[in-house]
Chain A
Amino acid sequence: MLRLFLILITCLSSSILLAQNTAPYSLRTKEKVGYIKPDTARDNPNFTVCDENYIQEYYQVNPQYKEGVISIKNYFKPKLEALNELAESDGIIVIRFVINCQGLTGRFRSKYFDENYIKKDQNTALQNALVDSISAMGYWLPGKFNDQFYDAYQHIKFRIKDKKIIDVFL
């Protein structure tokens, strides 16, 4: 009877698994939307992540710069005048980067989009200056979930209007 019970349990498990199309337990999280491939030519060689295969998104583990967005805005406020000298055209610049589980930042990648959200090769000098500014911001509170620290992707956006940065936000 016990043997029959165990056989039935095995058959039932197989049929349930087939019916539900269960996803595999091991996911390739490294390459995904927004993946930043390490580039030895331009990345800081001293920057490392804690787990290359498991870099989370900012909205999953909430890394934070000091008090939050207000601290980021305050950091950039005194720099805006100089940065605005480099603005060529209106739109939005997005700087995406990695904050590792120790709060250090690296792997900066920038993109400029015009007012119709089309990616363009403009504002290069401004993008470079923004990357330099962000990399000089210092430590972030690393992403955390269930008392564990994680590497996380983060981005900062800059809205440009009339060739001036009018907004710094996430």
Chain B
Amino acid sequence: MSSYKYLLLILISLIVLSCSSSKKEEIKDYEHLRYFPQGSTEKQEYYKLHLAENPSDDHAWKQRSIAFNKRGDIDTGMAYLQKAVDLNPEGHIGYRGYVKLYMMHDYDDALEDFKTLLKISSDQNPVAWGENLHKLIGLTFLLEGNYDSALTYLERGIKLTTAEFGADYVETNAFLYQAYAQFYLKDFESALATLSSVLEMDNRYPEAHFLRAKVYYSQGKISQAKESIETADKLYRKYKSETNAYYEVPFQLYQSQIDDLMGRINIIK
């Protein structure tokens, strides 16, 4: 009986709390559409109605663009994203650069967006959609084949982040990209040094072991190449490579690449 009384007391309290509100907010008759999934007809209807009344809601314009860009309707997606950028450049141009880099492979335009953010940001070491901006610029240059510029920005990002937060806060792929730039510039010793530092932080990084095997192979150091590629193979089979649901990660590693390099290394006796 007494447990019923306690339960009754709790229920009455909850009913009173759920019914009362110190702040009466006007609820639009389309507000319920907001809770539908991204990309649904209902959610798009919500954005249409909301933005008709609140055309300067830059966040809503950005959110509206996402499903379109993910699903290949990129004229619509980029048009909505342009509105967000026009309303709040510092808030959204980095994200647009991110989309252009990873989802559109539009490296020239991505660089333009990233460099604009670098210019207008009040932060000395800004981020764009959660990634270090200097790293993103460096990666974009790397993918364009401009390895010297890539190194400049990658190293700057690593240095600034280390100074501000410590080396542990530097994204490990920044080092991988730095090592790739050094490798392509045929600065093999620097590439090996960079790979050594990243593997000290995380030895279970098959991509780094794979690149190390490539470097050693290029130098003719076959026994070291063999050891590295076998480590890469073991780690890849256990942990796979970094992936992303929306796009192929730059320098994503595949088993066939490991097998191919291993075959070439093993041919040399």
Residues of A within 8 A of B (CB): 1, 4-5, 8-9, 11-12, 15-16, 19, 21-23, 27-29, 31-34, 57-60, 62, 67-70, 92, 94, 96, 111, 113, 117-119, 153, 155, 157, 159, 167, 169-170
**Given that A8-B15, A169-B247, A170-B248 are contacting pairs, would A33 and B71 also be in contact in the complex, using a CB cutoff of 8 Å?**
yes
B247 near A22 (CB under 8 angstroms)?
no
What are 30 residue pairs bridging A and B, where the CB atoms are less than 8 Å apart in the complex? A4-B8, A5-B4, A5-B8, A8-B15, A9-B11, A12-B14, A12-B15, A12-B18, A16-B18, A23-B36, A28-B40, A31-B41, A32-B40, A32-B67, A33-B39, A34-B72, A57-B71, A68-B252, A68-B254, A70-B252, A70-B257, A92-B104, A94-B72, A111-B72, A117-B78, A155-B71, A159-B104, A169-B105, A170-B246, A170-B247
Give the CA-CA distance A62 to B244 in the complex, in Å: 10
7 closest A-B pairs by beta carbon, nearest first, are A34-B71, A59-B245, A117-B78, A69-B248, A94-B72, A33-B39, A33-B67
Q: How far is the CB of A128 from chain B (nearest CB, A)?
A: 17
Chain B interface residues toward A at CB < 8 A = 1, 4, 7-8, 11-12, 14-15, 18-19, 27, 31-32, 34-37, 39-42, 44, 67-68, 70-75, 78-79, 104-106, 245-248, 252, 254-257
- Measured CB to CB, the closest approach of chain A to B11, in angstroms, equals 5
Q: Is the CB of A159 within 8 A of B105?
A: yes
Assess whether B248 is in contact with A68, with CB atoms less than 8 Å apart.
Answer: yes
Which residues of the partner chain B approach A117 to less than 8 Å between Cβ atoms? 74-75, 78-79
Q: Which B residues lie within 8 Å of A170 (CB)?
A: 246-248
Cα–Cα distance between A57 and B18 once the two chains are bound (Å): 37
Contact B70 A59, beta carbon cutoff 8 Å: yes
Across-interface contacts of A167 in B (CB, < 8 A): 105
* Smallest CB gap from A16: residue in B: B18
Taking the nearest CB of chain B, how far is it from the CB of A9, in angstroms? 7
